């Protein structure tokens, strides 16, 4: 699976990328939302995983922009945050291809979320 991953936490990326690659996925990295949106317009992603709280275009913005693109209208998205984000939870309750993970999360929780949306 081709996964687009955006987070401004380099420690989290250092943990997630090797784990996802070891599980057989290809990972496209972005350090912010604008960079992620540029990458997914150039290369198809089968799953988007994004932090909610990032400078510039945040995870909610990524979700809204991705859903407005025909090719990403139904692509699974996982939004993550260390804060309680009610908007993320509300969106996840409405969209069956969206999940919200509270940081810190375990790798098992991430895999459950991936399995639920794919």
3-state secondary structure of 62: helix
The torsion defined by the Cα of 98, 99, 103 and 107, in degrees rounded to 10, comes to: -110
pLDDT values of the chain reduced to their tens digit, one per residue, 118 residues: 999 999 988 898 999 999 999 999 999 999 899 999 999 999 999 999 999 988 889 899 999 999 999 999 999 999 998 876 676 677 777 788 999 898 889 999 999 999 999 8
């Amino acid at each position: 699976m081709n996964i687009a991953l955006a987070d401004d936490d380099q420690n989290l990326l250092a943990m997630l990328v090797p784990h996802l690659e070891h599980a057989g996925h290809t990972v496209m990295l972005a350090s912010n939302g604008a960079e992620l949106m540029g990458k997914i317009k150039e290369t198809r992603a089968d799953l988007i995983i994004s932090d909610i709280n990032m400078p510039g275009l945040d995870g909610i913005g990524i979700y809204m922009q991705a859903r407005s693109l025909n090719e990403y209208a139904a692509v699974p998205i996982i939004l993550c945050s260390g804060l309680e984000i009610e908007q993320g939870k509300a969106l996840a309750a409405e969209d069956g291809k969206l999940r919200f993970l509270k940081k810190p999360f375990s790798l098992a929780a991430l895999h459950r979320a991936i399995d639920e949306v794919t």
